[in-house]
Structure 1
Amino acid sequence: MKQQIVNFCLYLLSFILLWEWLRPLEYSTDSIYTVIFVIFIGISLFFTFMQLKWYISYPVKLCYIFFFIHQLFYNGSVFEIGWILEFIHDLRYNLNLITERYFGGMTPPFRTFLFFVLLWLLVYLLNYWIIQRKRILLFLILTITYVAVLDTFSPYDATYAIIRLAVVGFFLLGLLYFERMIFSEKIPFRSILYWKWIVPLLAMIVVSAAIGWLAPKAAPQWPDPLPYFSKYKQDGEGEHLSNSVVKKIGYGTNDEQLGGPFIPNDAPAFRAYVERQHYWRVETKDVYTGKGWVTSDRQFSIANGFIGPYLNLTSSQVQTEQLVSTVEIEREYPYQHIIYPLGLQEISSDADQYRIDHVTENIFPMFNESGERLSSYSLKYSYPLFEIEKLQAIHSNEGAPKELVERYTQLPASLPERVKNLAVEITKDKNNFYDKAKAVEQYFLKEPFVYETNDVAVPELDEDYVDQFLFETKKGYCDNFSTSMVVLLRSVGIPARWVKGYTPGQFVETTSEGLEVYEVTSNNAHSWVEVYFSGIGWVPFEPTIGFSNPQEFAHQSNENQQDSSAAEQEQSQPLEEESQEQIDTDDAKQPKKFPFSLSPAVIVSIGFILFIAACVLILFKTRNKWMTSWMTSFYKWNHDEKDFLKAYRLLLKSLERCGYKRENGQTLREYAKQIDQMFGTNSMSQLTYIYERVLYRGDDPSKEWEQSKELWEDLIKKTTS
């Protein structure tokens, strides 16, 4: 028991060292959910410490891995078969990339899976180094080097990490050295020896670390190497980027934390063959949290190629134009969702079916059998032409579904009152939804708002993202403008939602069939606004400065006349195509310490996983009692002499688990006499005598079975008491 306490301390210190490897991921990668990986290594080390059998620990860890891969990258229930097939297809795709040595194209789910596997192996190696070899110096050196390099070449501040590593690392080195010394000298385990070693060691380390922290330090003797290895984009006046984390841009799946600067990324996404220019939709978000966007619910349907009935984007009363487009996905594009225009009706591709999320309107291809990743697909869609007079006739949400209105007028309770007051002020002279939406859309043109990609603020913990943009900074990119417009419209009771996708892209050529070819890159990732008009449907608006809405608006008197207000948004000098930051987490937040900001769904999921793990652990640790109770009831009412043999062997195992192990070379009779001496009975010797007669002489124990069962039950109860 005392040695187990020492081993537990060793595992705990090892966990802290591993934690230091994961802390910088928040600042140097696209991962916000590092707490998920921290919990995983904690569970893995705990299982190793408890010496759980592989058939218990492996399933729990695998369930943990796949549960959170589903939570992070897939929609729907974790028990649905659709996402599993999608992951298997994704696995095959990435394995092909590995065989082709194209590591840059690996998808995020696969990279996350590999990272979990790496942590699993790392825990195994730590167990070997610490428990078997009693050495940790090499791993400690690697950890300190890793943290120091990140402190130099990334925004991560390792000041406190170095102190933690010094204290924990040297304490672990001293403890392991003492363990090796005890083992080599064969010194009996005595608690007082450990205390005499640990207390002075810990005191010396803490005092040394404190002196090192408080003592005056010389200025850096070498120039900062970072400028020689990294280049920062500067504006026309030579101002450097802010101290926020800078990441590549592109489409991202996580929008819980918005804000922060980004740098261009012209990696190709797809090539489009279209009859007319338009925005490309991917998904929508409905819940604004004050920091970013999340999805409130998941509602899925499986469809063949006919998608139109599942989306219901516009009413049948809206005039439309039937168009066809073809999308060719670039090999480097990491996602498998369908990219489509407003009014989508039908998809033609190699996929067998499509999974549609009714809330986010995300569409994913599904394969019944193994198939290649979708490289191209054709789209048929009814592109709408909205009549301004019909839009202006909508003054309220009368006739709109109540659930829809509640969902898309949601606002957080923490939203500052001045945001709502501003929305009322902007729309006070307008009497219909369309004019109010246009007033908010054009508000960003009238006020001194600036389109900015570098010096973009990140809200503090007590700040609201929209409030900060509207009243403090007034500069940002599409996320700032689109999110602010949605919040302002919702503040006056108008249903609105946040839409993500791509702008039309860069024109390349016109084909012989008359189709226009556009090259769409990560720089074209974009967000905009859709407003719901009862009886008409969802209508797109574009509030971002420098972007014009490609959607057509016409007056009833002249269907060819474009809406003049939309034309006002066009700028005389074109701005380069903006893109939405991968907004996967840290790209949109400044470096901060724990705790992490997690959505309620993830917190509940972690709690559920921990509850299941705790139940499994409790059942395993109490197996002597409940298994023995069950076996006692089973054998008590059984009269088969074969069961007596099994019961006797069960008794031997139960005694062994309780610490009464039979020594090598010890006969059963000697062992039985030893057990009787411990318990002060003669029951074990009698049972052993009957067991040997049945086993070696073939005697029938049925006559003595009742007495045997009583003796056996008495001993079983003693082992579990």
Structure 2
Amino acid sequence: MKRSTSEKIELAVFYIIIFLILREWLVPIMQLTKTGYFMQFLLFIAICLTIGVFSLPVLLSWPIKVLYITWFITSVYNDGEFTTWQFLSNELRYNVEVILNGDWILVSDPFRTSLFFILIWMLIYLIQHWVSVRHTIYYFLVLTVFFIATLDTFTEYDGKLAIIKVMILGLVLTSLLFIKRLMQSANMQKDWTSYFIYATPIILFVTIAGLTAAYLPKAEPQWPDPVPYMKGMVGLGGSSSQTVATVGYGENDESLGGPFVGDNTVVYEIETPIRQYWRVETKDYYTSKGWVHTGGRDVLSDLQFSHPIEFSVMPGETEPQTVEVHSMGDYNFLLQAYGTTSYSTNDPTNLLRFNHTNEKLNLLSNREIVKPTVYEMTFQQPEYSFTALKETLSSTGSDPRYLQLPDELPQRVIDLAHEITDGHASIYNKARAIENYFARSGYKYETTNVAVPKADEDYVDQFLFETKLGYCDNFSTSMVVMLRAVGIQARWVKGFSAGERVASNADLTTYQVTNNDAHSWVEAYIDGVGWMPFEPTVGFSNPVNIDYDVESTQEEQLPEMETPEVERPEPEEQDTVTGGATKASSIDFTKYKWVFYVLGGILLLAAIIAWRKRGKWQPKLVVQMNRAKLNNPNNFEDAYFILLKQLERIYLKRGSHETLQQFAKRVDHDLETTKMSELTYVYEQYIYAGKSKEFDVAKMKESWEYLINRTSS
């Protein structure tokens, strides 16, 4: 139904209020999930609502939305290594295979973002139905308040101000929609003067009452807070005696475990040509509760900037690249890119202090450690030969301290490590088997309900066999211990993950690294290759650079190369084990690809046939959807416009020069009936004379259904 200008203005006012309410939905989602690009998501909401105001047809509105989603996905996640179509094709193929194999946790970030856009799309469609057809917003308002209140109660999000804004906006919109329903039921023509007379006092009263209630003093709670009790009942919280730490980079790792709360404080802003992890230090001695240095002794060297730094991770043979780091936090160490060769600062008198024991690097001024503010590092990214990785069968060339395990380590941890790596010959394949074990065996990333091992309990054993809940420290420590258990030299690495991409300029991308990005991972030593990073934590991906310098065969499929911005753990084909028991192999859907292609072709053909034959089934569907409405005379106008739309589909369109009666006579002539003229006469009486109760509703309903069904003949 085509809307008049006044109706579009009215609907635009409604949708502006809806936009402001939806913004309050989006803010906590962005904050709690640490998702960027807030303005781009808001723009998508604005586009959807604008399309709703102008009632653009589906053939135009859907492509606009799909093109926007495609633009966002490719601009954010595709760094130019592939063309747009190659990137989208690879993403679609990968995610279809992951979903068909049942590994939903491994779907890529672009796919998850697409689903989030579709969720917003569907939500707005539902809201438009409530506002435009039902003329009510009650359920949406209640749902919004419940959503924000739940997040305010059970997360660190503070929703007090958001609830106030939502209540004021929701009550204003509810009042405007009530006025609209009132004017329709009274058959009043829209008069903007009367409209403002009714609406203004309501808006003023709601706004003043809401602001007054927000700023008035409030009494203290009269009952104890039930939330901690509820969390304890459902297992979301620890005991009252357990302290909750704040996430961030810490120096003491002797006692790992326990929950922590997030901290979005930005500590670094980094301009880098490639996405990567930011290394700080390593630790080698596992105590069954945490990590310390061997013997607790540090070997230090003070170096000029021109002196080489003896990092154990050797630079690659790639072109030297430069990273610029802006430090905004209180950390006094220097970050390391993989393959770092040198540093530079604005003050040439500074020195570098290198700790040979844990490879931590500090900045010295007058022989005192100072906090760096802005510095550059040059690196040559290591590139690992896939041929060398697959052919190396030993890990003996570094230092025996990287095989240390506590004497009291439970035997079942060692047995599990051997079961996971059984059947793999190369060191790399064994490490990859352990790395992928966690994602396939029911382990979950968790920051709140994380246990602390008891005095007689091993930290790794507790995580592997008891809780299966934890964050990066649990996953990385467990992988290091299992690697050592099968004779692979490994060490625990601390630093920061890549951070959030906030800008891109030419070949450089700017990332913001917060305390939430403090991270730990694993490095394993492979003879002839050196130290190589691995990432076992569920939901994280390792930006390692591998040169696939062999031809893949049917027996040995190469893993898909990871792009810098796509976190995509690689599905493995071998069986995994859970708690020492072999996990049953899932059905290999890849063998039946042709079945899904055939089914897809059949569905596509059926959709095409249904679209071409819509003249047969669409009128019947219209009758079924609108039959109940015609029991109410107030819906007669909408039903008449639906009939005009159906007649237009069979090329009976009202001309610009025709009156309704002239058009009705032409329709009756073509369809060999008199019902269109009868229906039009009643419509004119209803619109212009307000005689809504003087016609036979049942008879008009019968005439309307007859004409609708005739359009399918």
Taking structure 2 as the reference length, the TM-score comes to: 0.45
